[in-house]
Chains A and B, each alone.
Chain A
Amino acid sequence: MSATSGVARRDEDEVCPVCKSSRYLNPNMRFLINPECYHKMCESCVDRIFSSGPSSCPVAGCRKTLRKNKFRQQTFEDIGVEREVDIRRRVMQVLNRREEEFDSKRAYDDFLEQREEIIANLVSGIDVVKTEAKLKRYATDNVQSIRTNQALEVEESQSFQARMTLEQEEARLRRQAAREEYENERREMQAGRNDFLLRLAAGSPADAAAIAREGHKVLLKKSSARRSEEDRIRQKQAALRGTDVKRTASLLNTADTAGTTDTGLVKGLRKIKAPEPEKPYDPFDGMVPEKHDYYTLQDYYPSAYLDKIRKDTRMQAGGYDLREYYSRSLMEAFAGLGVSIAEEVAQRDATSMLGRSKPASTESAAMAAVGNTVASENAT
């Protein structure tokens, strides 16, 4: 950074463009901006000009009406960036659709592109009036969904915050536990050594080797017991952490059901399916019982040949019913009448274009395999 630019910026920063007072005279001077026009001025100017109600911007050539309550400190040094961030925040608050509301990834990407385009238009001042009108209409049309998505966002950020603090707290506890553990170990080691020295001092020189071995063993045993205890505690903590994460995750999932409708501005939103009214139960599942297209069934057909059966009480007692015979004979006699070969050929050709046709193989293979034994089957 060169010295000149540094000086220039400081100069600009130090003198209020409205009242020309400088930091030299007023060391506590703060500069404020208004997102209407982003013209910078000092706090005292704001108080002076806007305390008695809205007034026009004092900067020459800017006729925007400003209100005092909109003035704030700027976040970014570059006023262009500040303005873009503001516009972006405002657009994002309105166009706050979420990925799960869209039919496909493609539709969501299109939406993101559209949003960027709107932001770019507003930032660079292309079609501002039209874009603003579009945005406004969208906002009024989708008040409900905008509100739900905002609530969802808040909830998400809150749960994220909660998880972060939880993790930090856990890390702190772990560190503390490790420190305590180290302390304990050191203290015990010391105590063991003291004890061991005392016993060495009290005992005879012959026992020295035995006492030394024993003391070492006791120390080892103690430390391994402690280690397994700590392992158990650690596992318990890990398990607790696992359930916590799961709980928050499930919380997020349940919140995730926002009703959506397709609007003029945003395309490709997932349609909400209205549940179909439940149909009454049909015992026949859509089929029509006793439907004969070409004949009507009578209860009696005179036939000398069948009279014998009609009189056979034994057959009747077994449940045999001649009406079934009539029905079957008629069905078989008229079955062919429903077939219109021209229609079926046309249908077959149309479907085979789509790769759909009935294989001729089922019947032929079956008959090839069983053909000569079928005849004997009727005898049973």
Chain B
Amino acid sequence: MAASPFASRSPSLTISSPNTLRLRASTAQNASQTSVARRPQNADQELTEQLNDEVRQKYVKDKRLGEGTYAVVYLGHLKNDPSSSVAIKKIKVNAEYKDGLAMDAIREVKYLQELSHPNIIALHDVFSSKDQNLSLVLEYLPRGDLEMLIKDVNIHYGVADVKAWMGMLARGVWFCHENFVLHRDIKPNNLLIGSDGEVKLADFGLARSFADPNYNMTHQVITRWYRPLELLYGARQYSGAVDVWSMGMVFAELLIRIPFVAGNTDLDQISKICEAFGTPTEENWPGVTQLPNYIPSDRNVPLQGREFFLRQFPIAGPVGAELLMSMCALDPRKRTTALQALRHSWWTTEPKPTKKEDLPRKAGGDKKMGDDLTRRGGELDDSTFKNAARQLDFGAK
């Protein structure tokens, strides 16, 4: 994929946030100074190694924010600007990938370095350390994630806040899709919150480019509760609609503060979706029976209409419920796209989205960022939502 360099502010153009610019500006200056000084000394080093050293020496690690199976995250700063903050994500050398790097890391670097948008986490630099570990210098987002806010019963938020968060999420997703990148792991704990309250799409460990008909894509992506039916049915060719379904699930979760369809297994997930939204048939989803892992359902629930969404999510209001319904269409071709979602009238109806500086906030976000960035893509944080599924009874009418 390539970002088109149109001069106007079109979505295909990658835009540097002011913060990125500042970081890059100061780092560039530093790099040029040191390179002049150092190059003659180790002329036997390869050029790539020299460049890598320059990048590595620009940053100082301060403290560890979190450690997971996949990576360690540190809080750091620029050597020549102690007031700056960055998160340094050091990918662990994994036993599975002895001969190279973890796929997640490659994907993350490959797509994040191309995408620059206020609602997508910024990748400032990449360098490798002596033991061949890859370190990603990422934007530091100190205010935790959406999951933290959803789960904290002491935090109260309203539909205006949900609208602001969803707007930021939809913009980020739209920008990815406009540049033909699928995120494939949208969920509340991958939506980090910056110091200014901006929601940012993070963890591109499962991202890939799409729309090429010649490549099959894997269906084993997206955390189960946020996975659409076409992926559960094993489709190998899909589109941005999978991210839109996840967005819809996040929307629903923000409204009711509990995962809306939380299956314990993939099969359970399928039956829960069918019961909640309706059973897919050849009539409402042409070709669904031909999907590789299609399982005919024993119960036939008719497709849910508008009144179902209005009843389930009363606080969204009629217009919000309609947007949610369009995001949760079973047939991916009937599902709204990120672009259409942003053109929906919900954004302009009352109440107005909360200004980002007024959004609810919670302390302890830096640790949460450490935890979020060290998790492997697609993993469920089982301990936290363990019994969530039992509290929802979709059979009840």
Contacts and interface: CB of A to CB of B under 8 A. Distances in A.
Contact of A281 (B6, B55, B211, B347): B347
A328 B1 CA distance: 8
Interface residues of A, number: 59
A370 B106 contact: yes
Interface string B141-153: 0000000000000
A205 B198 CA distance: 90
B134 interface: yes
Interface string B18-39: 0001001111110100000000
A336 B134 CA distance: 31
A369 B128 contact: yes
Interface residues of B, number: 86
A319 B171 CA distance: 21
A318 B48 contact: no
Contact of B291 (A287, A292, A317, A361): A317
Interface stretch (B185-193, B231-239, B254-262): B231-239
B107 interface: yes
B113 A366 contact: yes
A291 interface: yes
B387 interface: no
B339 A369 contact: no
Given A319-B230, A370-B106, A331 B4 contact: yes
Nearest to A310: B213
Contacts of B288: 317
B127 interface: yes
B332 interface: yes
B100 interface: yes
B105 interface: yes
Contact of B7 (A320, A338, A356, A365): A338
Nearest to B171: A285
B24 A358 contact: yes
B372 interface: no
A319 B21 contact: no
A369 B242 contact: no
Interface stretch (B8-16, B64-72, B375-383): B8-16
B281 interface: no
A380 B9 contact: no
A317 B235 contact: yes
A372 interface: yes
B96 interface: no
B210 to A, nearest CB: 7
A297 interface: no
B14 to A, nearest CB: 11
B2 A335 contact: yes
Contacts of A339: 5
A355 B25 contact: yes
Nearest to A314: B290
Nearest to B355: A278
Interface of A: 280-281, 283-293, 306, 309, 313-322, 324-325, 327-328, 331-332, 334-336, 338-339, 355-366, 368-370, 372-374, 376-380
29 contacts: A281-B347, A281-B348, A283-B171, A289-B343, A291-B6, A293-B6, A313-B286, A313-B290, A314-B235, A314-B292, A317-B288, A321-B211, A325-B212, A328-B1, A332-B1, A332-B2, A332-B4, A339-B5, A355-B29, A359-B125, A361-B31, A362-B126, A365-B55, A365-B128, A366-B109, A366-B113, A369-B128, A373-B106, A380-B208
Given A321-B239, A379-B215, 20 more contacts: A291-B6, A291-B8, A314-B237, A317-B287, A317-B288, A318-B291, A319-B230, A319-B238, A325-B211, A357-B25, A357-B28, A359-B24, A359-B28, A361-B51, A361-B125, A362-B126, A364-B51, A365-B48, A368-B49, A370-B101
A-B residue pairs, 3 tightest by C-beta: A319-B332, A318-B235, A317-B287
